[in-house]
């Protein structure tokens, strides 16, 4: 590997996206140097300078060229450009990394491999499905997705996952599950599913880097991604004082006032976590009642008593001001006692005001990652959540397309718990196993497999 470019990664502690970046280079067999900026002001300044003022970890460099954070790195990976920069692409621009195990001949010429089962996503649902599917000898290929490990990698302390009386960190729980899935024969691959063609059997599953697989069954466990507000200043300042991950970036804004937007568990947890670094943490929530469970609301109120958190109810953010050179300077907020002030901008009682903060964290929920299933016939609701069979009997995770199953946050807009995602993941693997057995039987008998109708 000595002729490969030099890869450098600035990391910090409690940084799931740093782990994602390292895992990606590990999966390619590419060596890299890491610089941990936690508690090292000089190194931190060096990172910020080399990254053009960005204050977010990780920052990845290839041969001194700034690649950027995890989003930028995974976008380059998706387009295949990362392999080009690393000298891993062949003359046709195709990756000849560890995954280049292509089959030859006929229609399958562009197909990397046929798999019995492909699982999209390595959050709790996908990994639990992988454990069960591995144990059922379905040798699953698990495609990591653009947020490997899923939402739990952004959680510092998972206190309600059964079996861990002292709690466990999200990344540790995810890593344990990955190890367990591999132990039972699952292969985990870095990549993002771009489309599933359900007009043919086996399914044709294409990744965003162009790799194509075929699969007899697919489990969609691709989770949900952090929502943003779409307000002015957002695009320019994302990574420069605006973040969707408090555990990743909070430490970079030590002694600043920080604003958390949202009123759910994530907002409460992030606000509590940020009190370690912030002068004061402000929570802006758009209505009077918090959505968060009492456990988190109580912890926030303790911090309010201690003077570390201030709550701004019936308040919404409408603009973020600042620059990439100087970071976030201040925000514009609107407030109205009736709640949802952005719906009442013409109401004379709506108060618009400027508010000084040095960092802003969005914690306003998630959108399901289901675009790649469009056109397959899998039914979704207006927000893109998959509709599955549900009910009491078997086949609960079946979608409308026989052979495609859904589990975790792509289906569940209500419970969204790690433990419920794990439960759905196991159900999906069991349903898929039943389907695959029926398929095998039907193939030997020369008939077709239909969805269960209960």
Residue 313 in the binding site for ligand NDP (CB under 6 A): no
Give the binding range for ligand NDP (CB under 6 A) out of 61-69, 87-95, 233-241, 264-272.
264-272
Which residues have a Cβ under 8 Å from the Cβ of 120 and sit 6 or more positions away? 126, 143, 145, 193, 218, 219, 220, 221, 222, 372
* Nearest residue to 267 via CA among 309, 305, 233: 309
Residue 262 in the binding site for ligand NDP (CB under 6 A): yes
Binding residue (CB under 6 A) for ligand NDP from 182, 254, 291, 301: 291
Write each residue from 19 to 48 as x if it is in contact with ligand NDP (CB under 6 A), else as -, in one continuous string.
Answer: ------------------------------
- H, E, C per residue of 343-384: HHCCCCCCEEEEEECCEEEECCCEEECCHHHCCCCCCECCCC
| Active-site pick, 248, 308, 409, 412 | 248
Binding residue (CB under 6 A) for ligand NDP from 69, 126, 150, 263: 263
How far apart, in Å, do the first and last CA atoms of the chain sit?
56
Which residues have a Cβ under 8 Å from the Cβ of 414 and sit 6 or more positions away? none
* Nearest residue to 421 via CA among 363, 361, 368: 368
Give the residue with the Cβ less far from ligand NDP, 126 or 140.
Answer: 126
Give the residue with the Cβ less far from ligand NDP, 129 or 271.
Answer: 271
Report how far residue 51's alpha carbon sits from residue 365's, in angstroms, rounded to the nearest whole number. Answer: 29
* Catalytic site includes residue 15: no
The CB-of-285 to ligand NDP minimum distance in angstroms stands at 6
Write each residue from 211 to 250 as x if it is in contact with ligand NDP (CB under 6 A), else as -, in one continuous string.
Answer: ------------------x---------------------
| Active-site pick, 23, 211, 245, 431 | 245
Residue 408 in the binding site for ligand NDP (CB under 6 A): no
Write each residue from 170 to 199 as x if it is in contact with ligand NDP (CB under 6 A), else as -, in one continuous string.
Answer: ------------------------------
Residue 365 in the binding site for ligand NDP (CB under 6 A): yes
Which residues have a Cβ under 8 Å from the Cβ of 438 and sit 6 or more positions away? 449
Give the binding range for ligand NDP (CB under 6 A) out of 1-9, 186-194, 243-251, 363-371.
363-371
* Catalytic site includes residue 249: yes
Binding residue (CB under 6 A) for ligand NDP from 416, 422, 423, 428: 416
Quick one: how far is CA 251 from the chain centroid? 21
Report how far residue 176's alpha carbon sits from residue 163's, in angstroms, rounded to the nearest whole number. Answer: 13
CA distances from 352 to 315, 347, 348, 362 (A): 10, 11, 10, 20
* Catalytic site includes residue 245: yes
Please give the structure tokens belonging to residue 269.
């947890």
| Residue 300, Cβ density class (10 Å: 0-12 exposed, 13-18 middle, ≥19 buried) | buried
Binding residue (CB under 6 A) for ligand NDP from 8, 59, 113, 265: 265
- 100-159 residues in contact with ligand NDP (CB under 6 A) are 155
Q: Are 260 and 284 in contact (CB under 8 A)?
A: yes
Residues that bind ligand NDP (CB under 6 A): 155, 160, 229, 261-267, 269, 286-287, 291, 316, 363-366, 416-417
Which positions are annotated as active-site residues? 245, 248-249
């Amino acid at each position: 590997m000595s002729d490969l470019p030099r890869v450098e990664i600035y990391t910090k502690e409690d940084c799931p996206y740093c782990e994602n970046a390292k895992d990606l280079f590990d999966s390619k067999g590419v060596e890299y140097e890491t610089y941990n900026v936690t508690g090292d002001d000089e190194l931190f300044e060096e990172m910020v300078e080399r990254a053009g003022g960005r204050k977010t970890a990780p920052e990845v460099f290839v041969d001194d060229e700034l690649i950027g954070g995890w989003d930028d790195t995974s976008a380059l990976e998706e387009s295949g450009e990362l392999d080009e920069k690393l000298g891993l692409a062949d003359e046709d621009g195709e990756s000849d990394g560890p995954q280049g195990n292509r089959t030859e001949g006929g229609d399958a010429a562009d197909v990397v491999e046929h798999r019995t089962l492909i699982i999209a996503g390595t959050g709790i649902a996908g990994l639990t499905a992988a454990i069960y599917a591995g144990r059922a000898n379905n040798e699953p290929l698990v495609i990591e997705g653009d947020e490997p490990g899923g939402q739990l990698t952004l959680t510092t302390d998972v206190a309600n996952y059964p079996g861990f009386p002292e709690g466990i960190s999200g990344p540790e729980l995810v890593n344990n599950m990955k190890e367990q899935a591999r132990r039972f024969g699952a292969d985990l691959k870095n990549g993002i599913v771009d489309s599933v063609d359900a007009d043919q059997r086996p399914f044709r599953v294409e990744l965003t880097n162009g790799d194509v697989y075929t699969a007899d069954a697919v489990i969609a466990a691709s989770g949900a991604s952090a929502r943003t507000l779409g307000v002015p200043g957002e695009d320019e300042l994302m990574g420069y004082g605006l973040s969707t991950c408090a555990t990743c970036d909070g430490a970079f804004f030590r002694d600043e006032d920080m604003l958390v937007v949202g009123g759910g568990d994530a907002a409460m947890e992030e606000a509590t976590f940020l009190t370690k670094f912030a002068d004061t943490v402000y929570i802006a929530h758009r209505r009077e009642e918090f959505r968060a469970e009492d456990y988190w609301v109580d912890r926030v109120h303790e911090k309010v008593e201690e003077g570390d958190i201030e709550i701004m109810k019936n308040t919404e953010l409408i603009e973020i001001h600042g620059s990439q050179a100087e970071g976030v300077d201040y925000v514009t907020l609107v407030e109205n006692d009736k709640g949802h002030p952005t719906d009442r901008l013409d109401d004379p009682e709506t108060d618009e005001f400027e508010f000084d903060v040095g960092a802003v964290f969005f914690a306003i929920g998630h959108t399901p990652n289901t675009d790649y299933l469009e056109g397959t016939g899998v039914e979704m609701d207006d927000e893109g959540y998959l509709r599955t069979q549900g009910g009491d009997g078997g086949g609960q995770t079946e979608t409308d397309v026989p052979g495609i199953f859904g589990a975790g946050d792509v289906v569940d807009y209500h419970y969204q718990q790690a433990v419920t995602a794990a439960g759905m993941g196991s159900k999906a693997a069991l349903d898929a196993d039943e389907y695959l057995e029926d398929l095998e039987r039907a193939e030997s008998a020369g008939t077709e497999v239909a969805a269960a109708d209960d």
